[in-house]
Amino acid sequence: MSVGRGKEIFAGNPTNIGSSNIPLNNEYIDAQPNDRIVLGLEAGAGANTGYGTGANYLFSNFGFSSPSLVTGVTVSLDNISGVALGNQVVFGNGSIRVFVDTLTIPAFKDACHGVQCGTITLDLTVSQVPETATYAVLAIGLGVLLIRRRLA
C-alpha cells in the first residue's frame, strides 16, 4: 500500500461515523506499508465504544505500487472483544468494512492515559494482478505456437 509515515486519521480529524468530536483522543487509523491497517479505538460509554447503530469504517480503493487486489483479511485484537470476521469485519469486492458500534473494550491501558482503549489489526492478503500487456504477450505466444504446430 502507498502510505505516509505515522497515523493517517487521528483525534480531531473529521469522519463520517459520528459527531465532530470523533475520533476520540486515543482513536486512530494507521495504514502501514506491510499491508496492515491498525484501527485504535477508545471506550466512549462504559466498556462500549458509544458509537451509534451501524457505525463503521470502510477501507477501499487501496493503492499499491503494482497492480494488486486484496483477496483476504486476517483480524487480530488487542483489548477489544465482540469482533468476528463476517459480522463486525466484512470483506468483499476488495473492500473491508469494520463495524464499531457493538464492540467492547474491557480493560484500562497505561498507554491510553487512564481510559479503556484497544486495537483491531487488519492484515491484508494481497495478490498481484498481471497487467494487460502480460495477457497480450501470452496470447501472441500461444498464437505463434499454434501456427508453428499447424505448419509442422
Over its length of 152 residues, how does the chain's per-residue pLDDT go in tens digits?
A: 445 567 777 777 777 665 545 677 888 989 888 889 999 999 988 888 888 888 888 888 887 777 778 888 999 999 998 888 888 999 988 889 999 888 999 988 888 888 899 999 999 988 877 666 666 777 777 777 788 777 76
How far is Cα 105 from Cα 118, in angstroms, rounded to an integer?
Answer: 6
3: in domain: no
Question: Quick one: CA torsion of 20, 124, 100, 112, rounded to 10 degrees?
Answer: -70
How far is Cα 152 from Cα 149, in angstroms, rounded to an integer?
Answer: 5
Tens-place pLDDT, residues 15-47? 766 554 567 788 898 988 888 999 999 998 888
Return the DSSP state at 46: T
55: in domain: yes
pLDDT of residue 130: 66
Q: Position of cell 498464437?
A: 143
Q: Position of cell 472483544?
A: 81
How far is Cα 79 from Cα 141, in angstroms, rounded to an integer?
Answer: 54
How far is Cα 136 from Cα 125, in angstroms, rounded to an integer?
Answer: 27
Scored b (16 or more CB within 10 A) or e, 101-132 reads bebbbeeebeebeeebbbbbbbbbebeeeeee
61: in domain: yes
119: in domain: yes
48: in domain: yes
106: in domain: yes
4: in domain: no
Number of domains in the chain: 1
pLDDT of residue 2: 47
Domain that holds residue 126: 9-151
How far is Cα 94 from Cα 72, in angstroms, rounded to an integer?
Answer: 8
Nearest CA-CA partner of 39 in 78, 70, 87: 78
